[in-house]
């Protein structure tokens, strides 16, 4: 485990060095994050100027949700999507061959190979929003609630990771897959609101087709004392299954790649 952490750290360090070469993107990221944040807050203030609660979510609770949205979104954009986009590129250019000749698990290598560190800003912003929401609400969540939050947050990240890995792995068969990741990104934006405000068909899509519900709504529910034991258990189980399924699919894809590519 320690060697894996060291490997992750080396990748992270090298990514930071790479990113530092482009200072402009740091400023761009600040602007982008602030615009995202401004839009999200403006929506809330508009909505709550007409009503006191949105489908049972009060303003401070919705702020919690947006905090989770930024936190998870930042993580996805920082680690998961850059690596997967590069994987698609590697399949197309044939440089995945190099990854496969390394004496290390190929899935691990492609998953951590690129880190867009400026997205850390969104993660920090998310944490700040969560703290702000708590202060606004006036009470701190109990230890059990915090534990549930941490677990669901982790489960949500794992579910999204598995899902994106599955999409990117499809590029072994269908070469043009970047577009599908773009579709994923815009679907993720729907996670800005609790999924229960959407019509049932869309809620179903956001839960089971593009698992945004698990990534954002469920952790926010954990923090706002809405989470039932059943949903918690189901989320953890789903995360484990998703990880296993994506792993199996990845291995199947590598086997196919080794059989068919030239």
Partner 1 sequence: MTAVATVNVTHLRKVYRVYEREAGLGAALRALFQRQMQEIVGVDDLTFAIEAGEIIGFLGPNGAGKTTTLKMLAGLLYPSAGEVRVLGYVPWRRERAFLRQIALVMGQRQQLIWDIPVIDSFELNRAIYRIPPAQYRHMLDELADLLDLAPLLHKPVRNLSLGERMKCEIAGSLLHRPQVLFLDEPTIGLDIVMQRRIRDFIREYNQRTGATVLLTSHYMADVEALCRRVILIHHGTMLFDGDLTRLVERFSPYKTIIVRLEEPADLRPYGEVLSQSEDHVSLRVPKSAIARVTARLLTDLPVLDLSVEDPPIETVIEQIFTQEEVV
Q: List residues near partner 1 by CB under 8 A.
A: 3, 6-7, 10-11, 14, 17-18, 21-22, 93-95, 97-98, 100-104, 109, 255, 258-262
* Residue 58 parent element (H or E): strand 57-58
For the chain, where are the alpha helices, taking DSSP H only?
2-20, 23-50, 59-75, 81-93, 96-100, 106-112, 120-137, 143-169, 178-189, 200-204, 212, 218-223, 229-260
Tokens 């792995």 label which residue?
Answer: 169
Instruction: Provide CB contacts within 8 A for 261, sequence distance 6+.
Output: 94
How is residue 159 written in tokens? 């579910």
CA distance 117 to 18: 10
CA distance 262 to 257: 9
């Amino acid at each position: 485990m320690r060697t894996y952490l060291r490997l992750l750290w080396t990748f992270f360090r090298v990514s930071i060095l790479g990113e530092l070469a482009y200072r402009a993107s740091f400023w761009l990221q600040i602007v982008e994050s602030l615009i995202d944040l401004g839009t999200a807050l403006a929506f809330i203030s508009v909505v709550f100027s007409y009503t006191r609660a949105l489908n049972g979510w009060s303003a401070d609770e919705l702020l919690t949700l947006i905090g989770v949205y930024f936190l998870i979104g930042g993580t996805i954009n920082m680690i998961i999507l850059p690596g997967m986009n590069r994987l698609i590129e590697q399949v197309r250019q044939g440089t995945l061959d190099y990854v496969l000749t390394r004496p290390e698990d190929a899935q691990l290598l492609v998953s951590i190979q690129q880190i867009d560190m400026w997205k850390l800003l969104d993660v920090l912003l998310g944490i700040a929003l969560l703290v702000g929401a708590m202060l606004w609400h006036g009470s701190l969540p109990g230890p059990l609630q915090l534990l549930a939050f941490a677990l669901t947050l982790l489960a949500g990240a794992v579910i999204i990771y598995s899902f994106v890995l599955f999409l990117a792995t499809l590029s072994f068969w269908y070469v043009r897959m970047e577009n599908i990741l773009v579709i994923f990104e815009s679907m993720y934006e729907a996670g800005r609101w609790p999924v229960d405000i959407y019509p049932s068909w869309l809620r179903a899509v956001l839960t089971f087709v593009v698992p945004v519900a698990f990534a954002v709504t469920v952790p926010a529910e954990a923090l706002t004392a809405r989470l039932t034991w059943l949903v918690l258990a189901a989320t953890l189980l789903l995360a484990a299954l998703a990880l296993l399924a994506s792993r199996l699919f990845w291995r199947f894809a590598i086997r196919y790649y080794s059989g068919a590519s030239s």
